Structures are given as structure tokens and as C-alpha cells.
Amino acid sequence: MNRWMPFEWIVALRFLREGRMQTLFIVAGIAIGVAVIVFMSALLAGLQSNFIRRVLTAQAHIQLLPPKEVARPLGPVRAAGGGPLEDAIVQAPLQRLKSIDQWQTLAAQVRAMPEVVVVSPIASGSALVIRGEASRAISVIGVDPALYFRIVALPEKMVRGTARLTPSDILIGTDLASDLGVAVGDKLRVSAAGGGGQTLTVTGLFDLGSKPANQRTTYVGLRTAQSLLGLVGGVSAIDVTVKDIYAAEAIARRITAANGVQADSWIATNAQFFTAVQAQKTSNTTIRFFVALSVAFGIASVLVVSVVQKSREIGILRAMGISRGQVLRVFLLQGGVLGLTGSVGGSSIGLVVLLLWQRYALNPDGTPLFPLVIEPGLFVASLLLATLTGLVAAFAPALRAARLDPVVAIRG
């Protein structure tokens, strides 16, 4: 086999075999470092995707709202003596429930944007639900099921009944049903602040994973909410989902600039959460950098020692006629082989640890804490990173070996 191998490979592998203990320890160190990178990267990616899934399965990426009402003075306010009154106070008006102006046109324009996936009109407001002597304040959300359920997968959150929404139906949370003592098929009287009221049939109970949301949130058909809230033909908001969730803020600003409506992205409404996601990315990058740095120093230190130990052999090889470039390649190959071998072992260790984590790190109900993202690209990137790190770390020792004077090296 050796007769078909290039000369540099034969010498590099022989040097690695002769220093077995050094080679074994540095390969083990690289493997541990790569295993840390693989495990932490997959863990943080799974944690991040789980956070985003929890946030975005209950809300749209962008929500369009009518512009807020602003109070403006009719003219300059004067004091009794005719001078300007600088301390005049303009009180902010109450924000009334109103429809988005020409919302059908706006929805069509947004739907035509190539980045947009779903556009769903919504009519929402506060109301009072009454059953016998019990009453509760609720939030009524009127939706078009065919569109809204593509944004919020409400049918998957149903505990009992179905997610049917005809003009006489209502969906309520499990905690609200418990407070009112109702079940699927019972009727509720819903009264809005404007005086409108309707008797609706409970067709399903859902669980949004939050007790306050289950106590207040209810869903009805869009036309039912429009009639109940006095928004006949109008909508109070338009929910939008986009292809790239991280581009939501930029798209929201474009919509505001073009149409004048208030566009709130999930990034703006969940600023603290988004900051936490960015912090996770930064920490992951930092961990990778320092692990790679420690691997590089480990490889470099081993090869520096190897150059010192093999200086006589290097001198003899140089005296026999091998070039400086060949000596350089011998030690670069050693660094690359160390990095590649350690990364293969580390990727295997990381995969095993990830599988063990997924099996034994469970919630009290036996379900996984969160789904881990195990992507082949992560392992390929780890292999390339460790191999490249090995080559870079080997460059300085290799350069030193190539510059050795044969006579001085042989004399020791």
C-alpha cells in the first residue's frame, strides 16, 4: 500500500505512529472539543426553534392595525393677556375600536408581496359572556377559519369538540368552560360593550397552554364578530405570515411606509424574546470559537514538540534531497490528519450524547423537553472546521521544520 502513497503521506503517518501517546492524547482532545461543538450547537438550535415555535404558533408574524388616534390642538393657545400659553396640555384620546380603512384593498396589496404567505382578516374586541348568574369578561376574535387556521393551528389545540365556526358557533378555552360550567353543545350569551348581543353554541374547547389565555380568549366566525362588535363589513386587524420570519420587521416597515397602517412584527412585540434568541446565537458562536482555539493550540503544541524530536530525521531527509516544500507538507498533513481523525470521533461522540439527551431528558409527562435539531450539515461543518483548524495550527511548526538547516539539525 505504501508504494502507492505519496512520500509526504508516508513520512507524516510514520511520525504520527512513532509518537503514539502524543497522537492519542491530541486526537482525544480534538474529539472532546468537536463533541462539545456538535452537542451545544444542536442543543441551542433545538432550544431556539422550540422557543420560536411556541411564540409563532399562537400569533402571526406581522399584524396590521389601524393608525392610532392622535389629538392635535386646533391652533396656538393664547393666555388671557394675549401672550402664548406654553404649558398647554393636549390630552391623548381614548382609542376606539375601529376598522382598517379600505382593508380589502390593503389585504390584496399585502397578499401580492412575494415574501407573504398568508393574509387573514380579523375582527376582535372585548365582550361579556353570560351563563345563568355567572359572567366573565372575554376577548372575542372573529376569524375566517380557512385563512386563520393556516396561521394559528387551532384545530391541533382542540381538547374536546371540533374547530367548526358557523355564524352561530363559538370556541372557548378549557379554563373558561370550567369557570362557567359549560361543555360542548351548551349555549352562551355574548354581549359586546356597544350593546350588541348574540346567543352562540359552544362547538369546541381548546387549550392554548396558558391559563389566562384559556380564561379570556374565544373564537367566532368573522361575520359574527363584525355584527357583535359593530364592525359591519370591517376588520380591526389583519394577520400576516411571511416566508422568512427574521425578515418580518423589515417587511412590516415597508408595509407601514407604503400604506400608513400600523404594522407590528413578532420581533417588535417580542423584543425581549428576540434579544434572548440573538444572545443564544452569540453564545454558540463564542463557544465554537474558544473550543476551536483550544484545539488549534493543542495541535500546534504537539507538532512543535514533534519538530524538536524529529529534527535529526528532518535534517537527514533534507540532506537526502527532499525539498523545503515537502517538509512543509509533511507537517501540514499531520495537522490535517489529527484534525480529521479527532473530528470524526468527536462527531460520533456528539451524536451519541444527543441521542441519549433526547431519550432521557424528559418532561414530567414523559415527552421530550424539546425536539433536537440533528442536521447532517452540522457534522459536515464540524469535520471541515476541525480539519481546517488542524491545517492552520500546523502551519507555524511546519514552517519551522522546513527552515531547519540540515547540517545543524543532524548535529543536534
pLDDT tens across 101-149, in order?
889 999 999 999 999 999 999 998 888 998 888 888 999 999 999 999 9
What is the 3-class SS of the chain, one letter each residue?
CHHHCCHHHHHHHHHHHHCHHHHHHHHHHHHHHHHHHHHHHHHHHHHHHHHHHHHHCCCCCEEEECCCCCCCCCCCCECCCCCECCCCCCCCCCCCCCCCCCHHHHHHHHHCCCCEEEEEEEEEEEEEEEECCEEEEEEEEEECHHHHCCCCCHHHHEEEECCCCCCCEEEEEHHHHHHHCCCCCCEEEEEECCCCEEEEEEEEEECCCCHHHHHHEEEEEHHHHHHHHCCCCCCCEEEEEECCHHHHHHHHHHHHHHHCCEEEEHHHHCHHHHHHHHHHHHHHHHHHHHHHHHHHHHHHHHHHHHHHHCHHHHHHHHHCCCCHHHHHHHHHHHHHHHHHHHHHHHHHHHHHHHHHHHHHCECCCCCECCCCCCCHHHHHHHHHHHHHHHHHHHHHHHHHHHCCCHHHHHHC
State residue 100's pLDDT score: 85
Q: What is the pLDDT of residue 260?
A: 83
What does the block give as the cell for 327? 517538509
Grid coordinates given for 330 = 509533511
Q: How far is CA 398 from the centre of its chain?
A: 42
Give the residue, 130 or 378, on which the prediction is more confident.
130
Q: What is the mean pLDDT of residues 379-386?
A: 82
Bigger pLDDT: 150 or 22?
150
pLDDT in tens, 303-312: 777 776 667 7
* Over residues 1-9, mean pLDDT: 66
**pLDDT band at residue 1, thresholds of 50, 70 and 90?**
very low
Please state the rounded mean pLDDT for residues 189-198: 80
Residues 339-356 have a mean pLDDT of 87
Average pLDDT over residues 371-379: 77
Measured CA to CA, the distance from residue 217 to residue 210 in angstroms comes to: 10
What is the reported pTM? Answer: 0.66
User: Quick one: angle between helices 7-18 and 20-56, nearest 10?
Assistant: 100
| Percent of the chain whose pLDDT exceeds 90 | 22
Q: How far is CA 345 from the centre of its chain?
A: 29
d(CA 93, CA 334): 74
Q: How far apart are CA 143 and CA 235, in angstroms?
A: 10
pLDDT digit string (tens) for 59-91?
Answer: 888 999 887 655 555 555 555 555 555 555 655
246-278: pLDDT as tens digits: 889 999 999 998 888 889 988 888 777 778 777
Q: What is the mean pLDDT of residues 376-405?
A: 79
Q: What is the pLDDT of residues 19-44, one digit of tens each?
A: 778 778 888 888 888 888 888 888 88
Interval 225-230 mean pLDDT: 88
Taking residues 320-337, report their average pLDDT.
79
